[in-house]
Structure 1
Amino acid sequence: MTPARPRQITIAAWLIIAGSIFTVLTIAEQFQSLGSMQMDDAIERTLGRPPFDTLDVSVDQIESMMRVLGMVAAACATAAAILGWQVLQHRSTTARLWLSILALPLLVAGFASGGFTSTMVVVATVMLWLQPARDWLAGTWKPAPAPAERAVPHLREGTSSPQAPAHSDVSERPFGEKAGPERPTALLSAVILTWIFSLLAAAGFVLAAGVLIADPGWVIDQLERTNPDLMAQEGMTERLIQVIFVLMSGVVLAWSISACVLAFLVLRRVAWARIVLMVCAGCAGLVLIVGAVANPLLIAPLVASAVTIGLLARRDVADYLRR
Structure 2
Amino acid sequence: MKRFGVEDRIPLLPLHYCVSQNTSLASSSYTTVSTTSPLILDMADLIQFPRGFGQQDIIGWGTTGLVCLDAADKTVIKTPHDDENRRRVQVEQAIYERFDQRGGHSGLLRYHGPYDSGIRLEFAPNWNLSSFLRKHPEIGTEQRLRWARQVTDALCFVHAANVIHGDLTLDNVLLTENLDIKLADFGGSSLDGSDLLVSVHASHRYPGPLLSTHADIFSLGSVYYTIMTGTFPYQDLSDEDIAALFKQGRFPETKTYGPFGAIIMKCWQVEYQSVMDLYKDIEEFSQGKSTSTTSITNSFQPPFSLLLFTIGIVAIVLVSNPKARIWV
| TM-score, scaled relative to structure 1 | 0.26
Q: Which has the higher strand share?
A: 2
Q: Which has the higher helix share?
A: 1
Larger radius of gyration: 1
* Higher RCO, Cα 8 Å, sep 6+: 2
| TM-score, scaled relative to structure 2 | 0.26
